[in-house]
């Protein structure tokens, strides 16, 4: 039987310890992260059972309790929304799964200073083939008046105003990684105690990496600068910092997580038929841009820093390039030439 290592901080212990350095902090962000951690554990249980769906009951069928078995992404959405609604730190949410924001509008929530945007289950198209998927979240301080219901303007803020951003990866182990301006820290779920434990303190992404991640199938849809860069990646050899390796899972949380740790670049460019690409600015690009910048990397839409984009629509899309500083600069040089 494995013993519990008391030297390892749990997510709760870590966020409480962070508070000690800030006597004026209210603890609201810590409680919000605790709420998200709880949702992540519940989602994790269901994701782990995904392969059993055919024997336990298919989507849309009725389970033993007489309830309809929900699709996993709907389940994840409800979990995230539920913990944030019942917590004391969130005035409202925006979700990739829902057309509009949800304003909690009760006495406690209206006093909360934060709003949260999330993609409850990114890469959910991969569930059927047992590929790692994830939850992505982003926390903003509201700009509307405290004591009143939050408003859409609280959600349509540029990414640079994020207070925290993070993701949960349901992989060979389950991890929660989150960033504040002070650093990026990763916690691995210890199933024996059901707690996220600090396993990757103060993550910094390598200045240069050797991995490039892009959907090659769309190569001829990309603009010339991007194609030039992909060609450059293929031509890298021992003499000029290579060879580079192409890795693309098609599940952004897994692709960017791997590149964050090992060093690399992830690209979802605009295409001839979809000039803004596929990824959503508020739910996918901004949180990862924030995390990678805090870790020492860079993120752009090919023209400008992602975190500076002023959003106008909750579900707007953006081309997205993110990764190690050195590789991002190589890409920028190709796009300028």
- DSSP state letter for 44: H
Nearest to 80 by CA among 21, 136, 19: 136
- Label residue 52 exposed, middle or buried (CB < 10 Å: 0-12, 13-18, 19+): exposed
Does residue 318 bind ligand AHM (CB under 6 A)?
Answer: no
Helix axes 28-48, 72-86, angle to 10 degrees: 160
User: Is 284 annotated among the ligand-binding residues?
Assistant: yes
CB nearer to ligand AHM: give 191 or 250: 250
User: Is 96 annotated among the ligand-binding residues?
Assistant: yes
Minimum distance from CB of 134 to ligand AHM (Å)? 8
Q: How many CB atoms lie within 10 A of CB 192?
A: 10
> Alpha-carbon distance 29 to 31, whole Å?
5
User: Is 215 annotated among the ligand-binding residues?
Assistant: yes
Does residue 305 bind ligand AHM (CB under 6 A)?
Answer: no
Both tokens of 195, joined, read 């707690």
Minimum distance from CB of 142 to ligand AHM (Å)? 26
User: Is 122 annotated among the ligand-binding residues?
Assistant: yes
Residue 173: its H or E element: none
User: Is 63 annotated among the ligand-binding residues?
Assistant: no
Minimum distance from CB of 178 to ligand AHM (Å)? 18
User: Is 286 annotated among the ligand-binding residues?
Assistant: no
Backbone angles phi and psi of 31, in degrees to 5: -70, -35
Q: Is the peptide bond before 304 cis (omega within 30 degrees of 0)?
A: no
* 90-129 footprint of ligand AHM as x/- string (CB under 6 A): --------------------------------xxxx----
| Cβ pair 206, 195 in contact under 8 A | no
Does residue 278 bind ligand AHM (CB under 6 A)?
Answer: yes
Minimum distance from CB of 315 to ligand AHM (Å)? 11
Q: How many residues bind ligand AHM (CB under 6 A)?
A: 10
- Pick from 250, 275, 313, 329: which binds ligand AHM (CB under 6 A)? 250
| Cβ pair 235, 246 in contact under 8 A | no
Does residue 135 bind ligand AHM (CB under 6 A)?
Answer: no
Does residue 215 bind ligand AHM (CB under 6 A)?
Answer: yes
Minimum distance from CB of 215 to ligand AHM (Å)? 4
- DSSP state letter for 33: H
Does residue 330 bind ligand AHM (CB under 6 A)?
Answer: no
Identify any residues that bridge with 175 across adjacent strands, giving them in sequence order. 169, 188
Minimum distance from CB of 127 to ligand AHM (Å)? 10
- Contact positions with ligand AHM (CB under 6 A) in 192-211: none
Backbone angles phi and psi of 90, in degrees to 5: -135, 125
- Pick from 9, 103, 252, 322: which binds ligand AHM (CB under 6 A)? 252
Q: Which residues bind ligand AHM (CB under 6 A)?
A: 122-125, 215, 250-252, 268, 278
């Amino acid at each position: 039987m494995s013993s519990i290592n008391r030297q390892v901080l749990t997510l709760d212990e870590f966020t409480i310890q962070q508070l000690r350095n800030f006597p004026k902090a209210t603890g609201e962000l810590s409680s919000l992260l605790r709420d998200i951690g709880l949702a992540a554990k519940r989602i994790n249980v269901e994701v782990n059972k995904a392969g059993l769906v055919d024997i336990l009951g298919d989507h849309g069928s009725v389970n033993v309790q007489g309830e309809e078995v929900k699709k996993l992404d709907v389940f994840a959405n409800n979990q995230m929304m539920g913990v944030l609604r019942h917590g004391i730190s969130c005035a409202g949410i925006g979700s990739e799964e829902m057309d509009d924001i949800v304003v909690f509008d009760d006495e406690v929530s209206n006093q909360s200073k934060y709003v949260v945007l999330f993609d409850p289950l990114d890469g959910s198209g991969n569930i059927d083939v047992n590929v790692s998927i994830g939850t992505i979240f982003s926390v903003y301080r509201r700009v509307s008046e405290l004591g009143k219901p939050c408003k859409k303007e609280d959600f349509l803020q540029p990414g640079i105003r994020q207070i925290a951003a993070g993701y949960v990866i349901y992989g060979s182990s389950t991890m929660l990684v989150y960033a504040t301006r002070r650093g990026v820290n990763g916690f691995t779920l210890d199933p024996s105690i059901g707690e996220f434990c600090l396993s990757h303190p103060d993550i910094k992404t390598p200045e240069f990496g050797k991995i490039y991640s892009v959907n090659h199938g769309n190569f001829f849809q990309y603009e010339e600068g991007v194609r030039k860069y992909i060609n450059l990646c293929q031509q890298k050899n021992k003499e000029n910092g290579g060879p580079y390796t192409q890795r693309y899972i098609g599940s952004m949380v897994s692709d960017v997580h791997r590149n964050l740790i090992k060093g690399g670049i992830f690209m979802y460019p605009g295409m001839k038929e979809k000039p803004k690409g596929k990824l959503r600015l508020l739910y996918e690009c901004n949180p990862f841009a924030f995390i990678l910048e805090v870790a020492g990397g860079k993120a752009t839409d090919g023209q400008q820093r992602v975190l500076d984009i002023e959003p106008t629509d909750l579900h707007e899309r953006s081309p997205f390039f993110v990764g190690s500083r050195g590789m991002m600069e190589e890409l920028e040089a190709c796009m300028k030439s």
